[in-house]
Structures are given as structure tokens and as C-alpha cells.
A and B are shown apart, each in its own frame.
Chain A
Amino acid sequence: MTSRLPPQPGEWINREQPLDFQFEGVSYQGFTGDVLSSALWANGVRVLGRSFKYHRPRGIYSLANHDANALVSVGSRTNLRADCLPLEANLQASAVNTLGSVSRDHLAIMDRFSRFLPVGFYYKAFHTPRRLFPFYENQMRKVAGLGRIDPQYREAATAKQYDFCDLLIVGAGPAGLSAAVDAGERGLRVILVDENPHPGGSFTWQWRRHAEALERCEQLLNRVHALDNIDLRVGTLAAGCYSDRWVALFDQQRMTKLRAAAVLVASGCFEQPAVFQNNDAPGIMLGSAAQRLVHRYAVQPFSQGVILGANRDAYRLASDLTTHGIDVTAICDLRPEGESSPAGTRVQELGIPIYRGYTIYQAETRRRGTQLTGVIACPLDRQGDTQPQAGLSLPCDGVAVSVGWAPDAGLLYQAGARFQYQSAVEQFVPHTLPPGLFAAGRVNGIFSWADQCIDGQRAARAAAIHLGHPDITEIPTLTHQGTPPSHPYPIFPHPEKHNFVDFDEDIHLADFKNAHQEGYDNIELVKRFTTVGMGPSQGKLSNMNAIRILARQNNATIDATGTTTSRPFQHPVPIGHLAGRRFHPLRRTPLDAWHRQAGAQMAHAGAWLRPEYYGAADERAQSILAEAEHVRQRVGLIDVSTLGKLQVTGPDAAEFLERIYTGRFQKQSTQRLRYGLACDETGTVLEDGVIARLAHDHFYVTATSGGSGSFYRELLRWRQLFQLDVQISNLTGQLAALNLAGPDSRDVLKELTCIDISGEAFPYLGVRVGTVAGVPATLMRVGFVGELGYEIHVPASSAVHVWEQLCETGRPFGLKPFGVETQRLLRLEKGHLIVGHDTDALTYPAEADLQWAIAQNKPFFVGSRSLEILQKRPLMRKLVGFRLKDTEDKPFPEECHLILDGETIVGRVTSIARDSTLKHPIGMAFVEPRLASPGSPLAIRTAPGTTVTGEVCSLPFYDPDNLRQQ
């Protein structure tokens, strides 16, 4: 381990636990607590990845989860950022986006072509000729993109969870810890998250040698741990902020959907790069990255370094590095006046040369850019322009850049905060925050740790006041003192065009010049044309400089230039964490298990699972036909528990039903059923079913399987609007319904019930309450399938008992269960339409021959006024029955196939099946009224392009005189 420093106080690595790992097939050793980047750096590895476009070698730059060029694959996980990937025993990582290896990437040749690949090159170059685009696309896909997806990946359910708190604090640095203690001592339920594996924030790298700061950190952490109502979650990223303070938290295991009554963002800042030639060479890194390496991982960032600075932090860094035996060759300070604070004096005392008003003009490398050998520094003139002719060469193997900061403000932006650029800090700071959102610390433009602690307390108290806590002394807002921590324009042109603004996407300064020349003068357009900020780090290291460049190009202020939109997520998150567990509940009838055991083919019908038929999957047609014949000739039993079942009670029950349905119910006899048809306000057919009167103030109503949920909901709304004294109960799931149908059904049922079910005592359209198989039951004589039949409604828990008793009793009669596909065929033969299947969202009663169901001279029902208007208009279409001639050698028509008159579309098929008795195709269709009379010819276009012919016929197809269902 060539670059590991002796043990550092507070280091995050555990030297007792060394770990072996591999990178690009080579074995190394690190420690528990290392991230992959720190362990590789400790082993002297400097090339950790290749850049996206030009495949330039890249090393550590931020070590703060923004190193989007050091991406690795581990097993089937890919595009993992090495600067935040915890080292594990026997970890086997390889770099993405290379051809060959990361140290000898054959695609590095792209860099030589870079001058021929300006932004917009791909948009323009491969646009024409269009016929060659597939070829270009194929070639480009081979080199584009980053990691590879493992097609062998095995899905694993990742549980999501909800959580709740009074105050969420994002960031456990000086401000966040202080805020947590203040709020925690007030009794608030606090969740404090930090994306790092340890709390402390800048205490753990910037202030490690500052005794007073360390003592404060210790005190704060002790309080946080001591207070039960503070839930400290490290390794947890607050990745997105949505409406009403709904924050997505991510850890290794899962996403937590946190609802916080208030959110305090103390997320800090991202240190920002300077733009100069070869500013991406391995060994050039942010000052904060160098300090993170030293203090968290005890790794020497370089042995001989130059600091490019423009703030006090650069001078603290110089002292810090010197203390750790690193030779600081020089500080180049962009500011002509340099640093006059004690931090500046201390550096002078150390004898480090300080070049005031200098920048690094270019970095020098060898071995194809993989090794930094030195920099050329040059003075800046009064305008801040470089004077390369006066450049001087400074040998070094590392550069630390400390020229400014940009707020980690994504969550605040997402929550609706507005920011303003403050020249006192040369940074965007929150200007207005939405209710319940608070900001503190560096993100709020406060840069000294002591002030950050006060600012954290200030924000925590503001949050407590927002949450309604009384008697709180507010703390006044602080402002930054001293020189700005950021430089307004740390960006320097170079003719060689390897001065990168965006490392993710290899966008250099001249690209912005090109974009501006093309007319892209708005930040959102510049982003889309150059792709700045669109890489994996989402512009954390590039957006601020891009704004500065554009502002200068437009000769506008930073505020006027504005920022791009911040969207979730803050950092990339595993897509499996988003998927979570699936909760798409299905409805099952109480007989579900019985059906499966009996070999039913189950199918989705709306929210329900229902048996289509009983039999083998490859014997569908035969099975349905056999079941249908059995019902027609003997007796069958179907589970119709999916039917909507509503109880309408109360003094105004009949009045209510008359307002909802088109028919009349005031004078309906008890123990009798009536057909019910309901429309919506526009006159469209909404629902149908039967309405049974059990007592003068008690009705039992059935509705369609698919529509009953929304129908029930609408009834509740009408109940409120009508203000009638009526109760509506949805019994759909409470009751099971079984339809026993066929010529032998009476003989089966009479064995099991005490009710007199003889034809005289219990006629067609009658309803009776009693028991079946010892269980309370409501019996209804309906004829949906066109045979003698009984709908038996029983409590859901007794459904299996009653069903089995019926099967047992029906055995001598050959009773067989039948499925919903069979029922569809039988009702089609009987000419019964299904609302929502044979009708659509525009069908009104006259179109479906349902005029008979509308009571005349009724003052009002829902839709009556609209039907009055529709009746004055000519019909545009009509639902008819049809029969087809021989279709054996042609594709069988399907529902929704078009009906043609010559080349004109005149209708469509709504239902079609093969008649169970005569075996020829029958169906229902909408056609134009001129083609609706029985005997009219009808042509259906079946896919693909063939036509079958038939003729319109009167309904029903089966038992037109209704003899069988009586």
C-alpha cells in the first residue's frame, strides 16, 4: 500500500480488518471502511475510469458521490460509483465504458478525434441520408452508453416502507447536528439522515485539526445518541422531495417514503472545479476530496501538490496537507489580493510560495494522459484573462482545486424554494422557502462551522414554531462575513480544448462557445444542446460553471441567467428499490379454491378472477360447447358472485330507485323482480340488473360485475344530492351468488330448500327468502341464460358449503359447473346484451332496443332530460343480432371487427360465438339503422383483409317465445 498514511484520528477505516479485492482482474488490499476509490488510491492506482465520450483517463475528483467517471460493475450491478462503493471482502470490480482495460482503453483514440466532434456533431452528421441511419445507429450504440445490463439478473423483491416524523433533517454536519439537538430537546420526532456511513459532515474532513470544532462535534453527537426521539440514519440518501413534504429516502435495503411535517435541509455544498487545460487528469482533484482522502481514509492524495485556490479554504488545505507530510509546491490564488486572514499568514510562515493573481493554465501529463507531471501556471491580467506567455512550470503529481462551492439544493428546488445569487458569497442562496421547508448551514450560504451550528439551531426553532410549539426564542438570521468563498469565474480558455466544464459528458469550454453561436442563449436550451448536466452526476460539478459561462456570454447577471430544473432523484438509485413490492389486489370469489381444484381455466375479468370454463387449456372450444349443451339439456351451476349486490333500504328506498333507474318501483310487489336500467346524466346506458323488493322499504339490487364498484360510488353521491332517507349497502363481497340453470334445476334445488319452489308458488321473476342447505338464502328466478334457473344468494362464508351441497344433490342429474365463457355464449343465444360489452360510452337506450325499460311520464330520473333530447334525433346506429354463413375456411370474426358496406364502415361486432345448438356463428353488432332490419346483408372484415358475409336477424336466437325459462 504505497499511499496509506499512518493512523489518523477519527479515520473511517478499520485497520484490524484488511480486505482483499480485485479491480480489473488485479488483486489489491484495502480495509473495512474504505470505498473502492480510496482503496485503489491507497494502492497507487490513479486511473479509476474512462470518460464517456473521449475515453480520457480519470481518477478521484470529488470523492463525494459525484465521481461519475469512476463507474464500475460488480456482478450484475453496474454503473456503481467507486467513490461511494463500500469495499467488501473479495469484491470484484471492473471499469465500465472501456474497450480492453481501464489503463489501456482502445477507445482512447476518440480523444484524438475530439476536435472533430463538436457539440451537436451527432445531431447534424448522422441526420442524412436517412437510409443510412440504421447503420450509424448500430455503430453508435456499440460505443455509447456506460455499463452493461446482465440479462441473467434475477429479480428480487425489494420492500418499500412508509415512515413519519415531525422534522426531517437532511445532512448530519455542523448545522444538521445542531438542528437535531435543538429540535430533539424540544421533544420533536426527528429523523436525521446523512448519505455518508458516519455522521459529522465537514467536521470529519475540513475541521479535523481544529480542537474546538472537534469538541463541539463530539458534544453534538453525544446528545443525538442520547435523545430517543432522534432517529439518526446514516448511509441514507434523501433523494427527492415531493408534494406536502413527502421525501424519498434510500438506503442499501430499500426506499422509505417519509412524510415529514417539516423538512430542514442542511445538505451543504458541492465544491466546484476550475476549468483549465487538462483539468481532468488523474491526480487533479477538489481540495475537499484531498481532505476526505486524508482524514476519512488515511490516504495520501499526492506527494507533491499544487493548490489552485480562490478562498480561505485553500489556505487551510495547504496547512492541513503540509501537516500530513505532503509537499505543497505552491498556491496559485486567482485573486490578485490573495488571502489576508490568519490562514493566509500561516501558509506564508510555512514558506509555501503563493502566486497571487495566478491560475493554472494547463496540466502536463505523460503516459497517454495517465500520469500528472506538473502544471503551467500563468498570471491573470486585470480583466482576469490568462497571460500564457508569462507562464511558469511547477512540477507536481497532484493538484487540489479550491475555488468555490455550489449549494446542494436539489431537495429545496424540488420543494418549490426560490433562490437568489448573493455576491457576498458568490453563490445561490434560498430566498423564499415553501411552508414547512427550512435551510441551514452551507446550503444557506453560511461557511464557518460555528456559524453553521447557530444557523442549524435557528432553522430548527423556525421549524418548531411552524409545527406549533409555543414559547420559542427565535435566533436572528446570520450573514456571511469576510471574502466570498467562491470565485465568480474560475474558467479559462485554452486553444487545445481539453479544458472540461462537464466531466460526465466531456463538454469543454469551446462547446459552450459553439452552442452560443448556434443561438442557444437560454440555460435550459444550452443544457439540451450541449448535454451539460445530463450525465450521471446531474451537473453537480458543472451546472454552476455552465451558468457562469452563459451569463458572461449573454452579458447578463447570474440571477437573470437562472438555473435548470432540479428533478428527483438527487443521485441515481437502483431501479429495484423503486419497484418495491407490488400491491395490485385481485378480487376472488369465495369459491376460488374450489374452481382451481376442479380444473377451471381462470381469467381476469375486471378486478376479478373467474373461471372461463372447466377443462384443459387446449380444449377450450369443446369444453365451452359441452358445458353449454349440458345447461340446455340438463343442469349446470355457475358462480356469479362477481355480480354487484346492493341493499337499498329506508322510507325513501323506492323513490330513490325511481330517480336512479328508468323504470318504476313504487308499486312493485314484494317477492317480485323487475329489470332495472340506469343511465348517466347524458343518457348513456350505465348499468342494468334486477331489482327485488323484499319489503316496502327494502330492496335488493344486482348490478354488473364490472360496473358495480363505480355504480355503488355514484349511488352514494346521488344519495347526498337527493337528500333522501335511504341507506345503500354494498353487499358484493359479503354475499356469494350461484346460478343453478337448466331443465333439471328445480329438481335439484327442491331437495335442499324449505321454500316451495314449484312453478305456481315461485314463478319466473319471483324472489324468495329462506334457506338453502341450511343456510340463509335469497332465491331469484331469472333467465339470463334462457333456461329454468335460480340465482341463489348466500353469505360468502357459506358459499363453499352450499355449492358442494348442490353438486352432491345434483349428481344424479349430472349437474356440472360451467364457466363465464359458457354463460356468455348462452346469454348471446338468448339475445341478452351485456352493458359495457355490447354497449359503449355513448350508447343510449334506443340504440340497444331498451326503450321498453323506460317508464313513460315519469317526472325525473337520471338522464331523463338528455334522453328527451336524444329521442328527437334520428338514430345513428342500432344493436342487432346477426347470423353468418359458412366461415369454415375463413378466419372466425372477432369482437370489434368492422362491418362494411362496400368500402364504407357501417358498424362493428360487439359479441360473437358459435351457436351451441346449430353450430353456426351468431353475434351482435352495431350497424347503421338502414341496415338494421332482419334479412339485411352484412359483411364483416376479418383480419387480415378477408370478408365474411351474413345477415341481420331478429333476437333472440334461442327460444323466442320464452317457454324454457318459465
Chain B
Amino acid sequence: MKILTCPLNGPRPIQEFHYGGEFRPPLDPAQLNDADWGQEVHHRHGEPGVKREWWYHTASGTWFIAERDNLQDRVIQTYLYTPERGND
């Protein structure tokens, strides 16, 4: 059973968390044409490598971002979302 480190609550077993899907920097919908918007909401990147993902610590209600290398089965870092940190 894996361990994931919540930025607020520290290292916890994985069953304390809920997986929230791939992190995608929020885009301005008005700037995208229909086709690009369709890609944005329906397409997810599945290729192995370093993934940026949303995770949620259920008991404390904490959303955070985990950078995870799923080729090496390794969590690189976890941090709380801020516009500066999330959208680069």
C-alpha cells in the first residue's frame, strides 16, 4: 500500500485519499474554438512519465497537486495549488 504525502497532513496511506484526475491549468473558454474546447474537456493525457495530478485528502478536505513519475512509480513532490504554482 502506497504512501502519499499531503502538504498539510503529512505522509498517509493511499486509502485516505481520493484521486482527482489530471491537473489542467484553467483556460479562458472564450479564447478557445469549439474543437479546442472539446479537446480540453474530454481529452486526457495518458502517456507514461511525470504526471501532474489532483489528489484530495478526504478526512481533512484538502486538495493538492502531486507530481508523480508513473514510469518509475515515484512521487516527486506534492504542494497546494496556487495560481502561480499551478498554471506554469
Q: Is the CB of B1 within 8 A of A244?
A: yes
Chain A residues whose C-beta falls within 8 Å of the C-beta of B20 in the assembled complex: 717
Option from B29, B38, B81 in Cβ contact (under 8 Å) with A860: B29
Closest chain A residue to B30, Cβ basis: A865
State whether A243 and B1 are in contact (beta carbons under 8 Å apart), knowing that A866-B37, A866-B41 are contacts in the complex.
yes
Give residues of chain A (498-547) contacting chain B, Cβ–Cβ below 8 Å. none
Chain B residues whose C-beta falls within 8 Å of the C-beta of A127 in the assembled complex: none
Q: Is the CB of A717 within 8 A of B3?
A: no
Bound-state CA distance A899–B32 (Å) is 39
Option from B2, B42, B81 in Cβ contact (under 8 Å) with A720: B81
Nearest-neighbour CB distance to chain A for B6, whole angstroms, equals 14
Chain A residues whose C-beta falls within 8 Å of the C-beta of B2 in the assembled complex: 243-244
Bound-state CA distance A869–B83 (Å) is 28
Nearest-neighbour CB distance to chain B for A708, whole angstroms, equals 14
Q: Is the CB of A682 within 8 A of B41?
A: yes
Nearest-neighbour CB distance to chain A for B17, whole angstroms, equals 12
Q: Is the CB of B81 within 8 A of A246?
A: no
Q: Is B34 an interface residue (CB 8 A)?
A: yes
**Binary contact track B1-40/A, C-beta < 8 Å → 1, others 0:** 1110000000001000010100000100110101001100
Bound-state CA distance A936–B81 (Å) is 52
Q: Is A716 an interface residue (CB 8 A)?
A: yes
Q: Is A596 an interface residue (CB 8 A)?
A: no
Q: Is B46 an interface residue (CB 8 A)?
A: no
Q: Is B61 an interface residue (CB 8 A)?
A: yes
Chain A residues whose C-beta falls within 8 Å of the C-beta of B38 in the assembled complex: 869
Nearest-neighbour CB distance to chain A for B73, whole angstroms, equals 8
Closest chain B residue to A709, Cβ basis: B58
Bound-state CA distance A864–B61 (Å) is 27
Q: Is the CB of B37 within 8 A of A716?
A: no
Nearest-neighbour CB distance to chain A for B42, whole angstroms, equals 7
Give residues of chain A (199-249) contacting chain B, Cβ–Cβ below 8 Å. 242-244, 246
Closest chain B residue to A720, Cβ basis: B81
Closest chain A residue to B32, Cβ basis: A865
Closest chain A residue to B11, Cβ basis: A244
Option from B3, B34, B61, B83 in Cβ contact (under 8 Å) with A716: B61
Q: Is the CB of B42 within 8 A of A682?
A: yes
Q: Is the CB of A716 within 8 A of B41?
A: no
Bound-state CA distance A869–B20 (Å) is 25
Give residues of chain B (57-88) contacting chain A, Cβ–Cβ below 8 Å. 61, 63, 73, 80-81, 83
Chain B residues whose C-beta falls within 8 Å of the C-beta of A597 in the assembled complex: none
State whether A865 and B81 are in contact (beta carbons under 8 Å apart), knowing that A244-B2, A682-B41, A716-B63 are contacts in the complex.
no
Chain A residues whose C-beta falls within 8 Å of the C-beta of B61 in the assembled complex: 713, 716, 730
Bound-state CA distance A716–B80 (Å) is 13
Chain B residues whose C-beta falls within 8 Å of the C-beta of A244 in the assembled complex: 1-3
Chain B residues whose C-beta falls within 8 Å of the C-beta of A717 in the assembled complex: 20, 54, 56, 63
Q: Is the CB of A869 within 8 A of B34?
A: yes
Chain A residues whose C-beta falls within 8 Å of the C-beta of B80 in the assembled complex: 720
**Binary contact track A693-709/B, C-beta < 8 Å → 1, others 0:** 00000000000000000
Nearest-neighbour CB distance to chain B for A857, whole angstroms, equals 14
**Binary contact track A934-964/B, C-beta < 8 Å → 1, others 0:** 0000000000000000000000000000000
Closest chain B residue to A246, Cβ basis: B1
Q: Is A747 an interface residue (CB 8 A)?
A: no
State whether A865 and B37 are in contact (beta carbons under 8 Å apart), knowing that A717-B20, A717-B54, A721-B81 are contacts in the complex.
yes
Closest chain A residue to B27, Cβ basis: A865
Chain A residues whose C-beta falls within 8 Å of the C-beta of B73 in the assembled complex: 243
Bound-state CA distance A864–B41 (Å) is 12
Bound-state CA distance A713–B55 (Å) is 11
**Number of A interface residues in the complex (CB < 8 A):** 20
Bound-state CA distance A133–B80 (Å) is 60
Nearest-neighbour CB distance to chain B for A348, whole angstroms, equals 55
Q: Is the CB of B37 within 8 A of A242?
A: no
Closest chain A residue to B62, Cβ basis: A716
Chain B residues whose C-beta falls within 8 Å of the C-beta of A257 in the assembled complex: 1
Q: Is the CB of A720 within 8 A of B3?
A: no
Bound-state CA distance A721–B32 (Å) is 19
Bound-state CA distance A38–B63 (Å) is 59
Bound-state CA distance A865–B36 (Å) is 11
Nearest-neighbour CB distance to chain A for B60, whole angstroms, equals 11
Chain A residues whose C-beta falls within 8 Å of the C-beta of B37 in the assembled complex: 865-866, 869
Chain A residues whose C-beta falls within 8 Å of the C-beta of B26 in the assembled complex: 721
Closest chain A residue to B2, Cβ basis: A243
Bound-state CA distance A681–B61 (Å) is 22
Chain A residues whose C-beta falls within 8 Å of the C-beta of B34 in the assembled complex: 869
Q: Is A340 an interface residue (CB 8 A)?
A: no
Closest chain B residue to A248, Cβ basis: B1
Closest chain A residue to B54, Cβ basis: A717
Give residues of chain B (37-54) contacting chain A, Cβ–Cβ below 8 Å. 37-38, 41-42, 54
Bound-state CA distance A257–B15 (Å) is 14
**Binary contact track A848-873/B, C-beta < 8 Å → 1, others 0:** 00000000000010001110010000
Nearest-neighbour CB distance to chain B for A262, whole angstroms, equals 14
Chain B residues whose C-beta falls within 8 Å of the C-beta of A720 in the assembled complex: 63, 80-81
Q: Is the CB of B1 within 8 A of A681?
A: no
Nearest-neighbour CB distance to chain A for B34, whole angstroms, equals 5
Give residues of chain A (729-787) contacting chain B, Cβ–Cβ below 8 Å. 730
Option from B3, B56, B83 in Cβ contact (under 8 Å) with A713: B56
Chain A residues whose C-beta falls within 8 Å of the C-beta of B3 in the assembled complex: 243-244, 259
Nearest-neighbour CB distance to chain B for A681, whole angstroms, equals 5
Nearest-neighbour CB distance to chain B for A806, whole angstroms, equals 33
Bound-state CA distance A283–B79 (Å) is 64
Q: Is A723 an interface residue (CB 8 A)?
A: yes
Nearest-neighbour CB distance to chain A for B28, whole angstroms, equals 9
Bound-state CA distance A864–B28 (Å) is 12
Nearest-neighbour CB distance to chain B for A597, whole angstroms, equals 33
Bound-state CA distance A716–B2 (Å) is 25
Bound-state CA distance A74–B32 (Å) is 71
Chain A residues whose C-beta falls within 8 Å of the C-beta of B1 in the assembled complex: 242-244, 246, 257
Nearest-neighbour CB distance to chain B for A682, whole angstroms, equals 5
Bound-state CA distance A682–B10 (Å) is 34
Closest chain A residue to B87, Cβ basis: A721
Nearest-neighbour CB distance to chain A for B55, whole angstroms, equals 11
Closest chain B residue to A681, Cβ basis: B41
Bound-state CA distance A723–B83 (Å) is 8
Bound-state CA distance A723–B61 (Å) is 16
Chain B residues whose C-beta falls within 8 Å of the C-beta of A681 in the assembled complex: 41
Give residues of chain A (662-704) contacting chain B, Cβ–Cβ below 8 Å. 681-682
Nearest-neighbour CB distance to chain B for A104, whole angstroms, equals 49
Give residues of chain A (820-872) contacting chain B, Cβ–Cβ below 8 Å. 860, 864-866, 869
Bound-state CA distance A716–B62 (Å) is 8
Chain A residues whose C-beta falls within 8 Å of the C-beta of B41 in the assembled complex: 681-682, 866
Nearest-neighbour CB distance to chain B for A261, whole angstroms, equals 11
Give residues of chain A (247-264) contacting chain B, Cβ–Cβ below 8 Å. 257, 259
Nearest-neighbour CB distance to chain A for B8, whole angstroms, equals 13
Bound-state CA distance A720–B82 (Å) is 8
Chain B residues whose C-beta falls within 8 Å of the C-beta of A246 in the assembled complex: 1
Bound-state CA distance A682–B2 (Å) is 32
Nearest-neighbour CB distance to chain A for B29, whole angstroms, equals 4
Best-surrounded residue of B2, B29, B32 (most CB of chain A within 10 A): B29
Nearest-neighbour CB distance to chain B for A240, whole angstroms, equals 11
Closest chain B residue to A869, Cβ basis: B34
Q: Is the CB of B29 within 8 A of A864?
A: yes
Q: Is the CB of A865 within 8 A of B56?
A: no
Chain A residues whose C-beta falls within 8 Å of the C-beta of B42 in the assembled complex: 682
10 contacts between A and B (CB under 8 A): A242-B1, A243-B3, A257-B1, A681-B41, A717-B54, A717-B56, A721-B26, A860-B29, A865-B37, A866-B41
Known: A682-B42, A721-B81, A869-B38. 11 other contacts (CB 8 A): A243-B1, A243-B2, A244-B1, A246-B1, A713-B18, A713-B56, A717-B56, A721-B26, A865-B30, A866-B37, A869-B37
By a beta-carbon cutoff of 8 Å, the part of chain A in contact with chain B is 242-244, 246, 257, 259, 681-682, 713, 716-717, 720-721, 723, 730, 860, 864-866, 869
Nearest first, the 5 A-B pairs at minimum CB distance are A865-B29, A243-B2, A244-B3, A246-B1, A681-B41
